[in-house]
Amino acid sequence: MSNRCSDEGKIIYQLNEIFKQMSPKFERCTGISQSRLDLLHKLFEVDETSQSALQKEVNIDSAAVTRHLKQLEGKGMVARRKNPNDNRFTFVSLTEEGRERIVSYRLEKEQFITKVLKDFSEEEQTSLSNMLTRIQKNVKDIQY
Amino acid sequence: MSNRCSDEGKIIYQLNEIFKQMSPKFERCTGISQSRLDLLHKLFEVDETSQSALQKEVNIDSAAVTRHLKQLEGKGMVARRKNPNDNRFTFVSLTEEGRERIVSYRLEKEQFITKVLKDFSEEEQTSLSNMLTRIQKNVKDIQY
DNA sequence: AGTCAACTATTGACCCGTCAATTGATTTAA
DNA sequence: TTAAATCAATTGACGGGTCAATAGTTGACT
């Protein structure tokens, strides 16, 4: 249950470090931030969604979603329009240009991922993934 | 080397999710952010250091370090003074109050960690840690 | 009808990180 | 000894996230 202090925080520490080191490299390699690519990915699969549905999928604050989508709209990658049947909702979809550009993003991302998982066998990957899933569950179970 | 798409991005995704979900809970449980606790930890071990040396250890930008330390100074947890032999450097140290309070922070942190690693055996923990180390190395090797 | 509650989206204030430019102190070299 | 280079720390501008408050729309209930 409890083990020696030197090791105790190490995994948490490593998780943070990996995140901090990986995020900026991801952005430089792919040319887009992970959050934005996530948004585009979801849109890629869905054709058109409400903003709130999108927000629930990517799991970032709706304020951030609004700002991202506005910028992506400014760059001509997504289109937004109000739901005519319910003006509270705004529908979001990829533009043609967005749809084209996301393909190259995906490519860059795949290359990035293979670099990150270099020398990991299939078994190791699934083993790692399973452990991460368990950690995720533990984190979720922490009340407060 | 390359495997099916559904699994490809999953680990990266999980790492991000864990980080995003864990950070705010950590802060609520312990009452302090991870970065700040890191800073205090280093100071706890070292008695007095220069700010730049501290910055190198915690691995966050020196601008952020300055701002953190100023706030911690405002709360009476750390003390700062210029190095009399070289006025470029500022020395940082824990105050008595800071030294007291960090003990409880450590306690909260330990409890948090055991929750995160619930149901993980020693072997699993070292196995996980080793894999994370390898990933960290892979990330570091990504040029650009 | 009219009011009230619920819901989406947006905005503002804030935290935390980065990079780039600046300030002040010291060292190096001419 | 003075000028240039270097270095630590700070500051400002910005990106991206959160929460809280607000605006606008819709639905339900009296």
Ordered DSSP codes for chain B: ----HHHHTHHHHHHHHHHHHHHHHHHHHHSS-HHHHHHHHHHHHHSSEEHHHHHHHHTS-HHHHHHHHHHHHHTTSEEEEE-TT-TT-EEEEE-HHHHHHHHHHHHHHHHHHHHHTTT--HHHHHHHHHHHHHHHHHHHH---
> String of b and e for A46-65 (b: at least 16 CB within 10 Å)?
eeebebeebbebbeeeeeeb
Task: Let me know how many helices (H) and strands (E) chain A has, helices first.
Answer: 7, 3
Q: Give the pLDDT confidence score for residue A144 in this predicted structure.
A: 72
Predicted confidence (pLDDT) at residue B68 exceeds the cutoff of 80? yes
Question: In degrees rounded to 5, what are phi and psi of residue A82?
Answer: -75, 145
Q: Residue range B15-44: average pLDDT?
A: 95
Q: What is the pLDDT of residue B4?
A: 45
CB pairs under 8 A between A and B: 148
Q: Of A7-21, B35-49, B57-71, which gets the smallest average pLDDT?
A: A7-21
What is the SS3 assignment for A85?
A: coil
Is B45 among the domain residues? yes
- When scoring A139, A140, A144 by the number of chain B Cβ atoms within 10 A, the one with the most, hence best to mutate, is A139
**Residue in the block written with tokens 């007291």:** B100
State the DSSP code for A118: T
* CA neighbor of B139 nearest in space, from A106, A101, A25: A25
- For residue B132, being part of any structural domain is answered with no
Predicted pLDDT at A2: 41
Element (H, E) at A95: none
- The whole-number pLDDT of residue A39 equals 97
Minimum Cα–Cα distance from B23: chain A residue: A16
Predicted confidence at residue B144, as pLDDT, reads 72
Query: Cα(B21)–Cα(B33) distance, rounded to whole angstroms?
Result: 13
Q: Is B34 a member of any domain?
A: yes
In the numeric block, which tokens belong to residue B65? 């370090």
Residues of chain A found within 8 Å of residue B122, distances taken between Cβ atoms: 3
CA–C1' gap, B82 and C25, in angstroms? 11
Q: Which of B12, B59, B115 sits opposite A116 (nearest CB)?
A: B12
The rounded distance, in Å, linking the Cα atoms of A116 and B135 is 6
pLDDT at A9: 82
Per-residue confidence (pLDDT) for residue A7, from 0 to 100: 61
* Residue ranges in chain A whose pLDDT is less than 70: 1-8
| B22 interaction partners in chain A (CB closer than 8 Å) | 12, 15, 139
Reported confidence tier of residue B73, pLDDT bands at 50, 70, 90: very high
Instruction: Give residue B30's domain range.
Output: 23-118
We report the CATH number of the domain holding residue A74 as 1.10.10.10
For residue B13, the distance in angstroms to the closest alpha carbon of chain A comes to: 9
Side chain identity at A24, as an amino acid letter? P
CB nearest to A118's CB, from B11, B119, B138: B138
* pLDDT surpassing 60 at residue B71: yes
- For residue B60, being part of any structural domain is answered with yes
Instruction: Assess whether pLDDT exceeds 60 at residue B5.
Output: no
pLDDT at res. A29: 93
User: Do A12 and B116 form a contact (C-beta atoms < 8 A)?
Assistant: yes
Residue of A4, A7, A15, A42 for testing the chain B interface, max B β-carbons within 10 Å: A15
Residue B68 is assigned to a structural domain of this protein: yes
Side chain identity at residue B13, one-letter code: Y
* Residue B7 within any structural domain of the chain: no
- Number of structural domains found in chain A: 1
Using one digit for the tens of pLDDT, what is the confidence trace for B103-118? 999 999 999 999 999 9
Span B126-135, pLDDT tens digits:
999 999 999 9
- What's the CA gap between A55 and A58, in Å, rounded? 5
pLDDT for the residue B95: 97
Q: Identify whether B89 is part of a domain.
A: yes
Nearest to A116 among B3, B114, B139 (CB): B139
**Which tops the pLDDT comparison, B3 or A24?**
A24
Whether B127 is in a domain gets the answer no
Give the orientation angle of helix B10-30 with respect to helix A122-141, to 10 degrees. Answer: 30
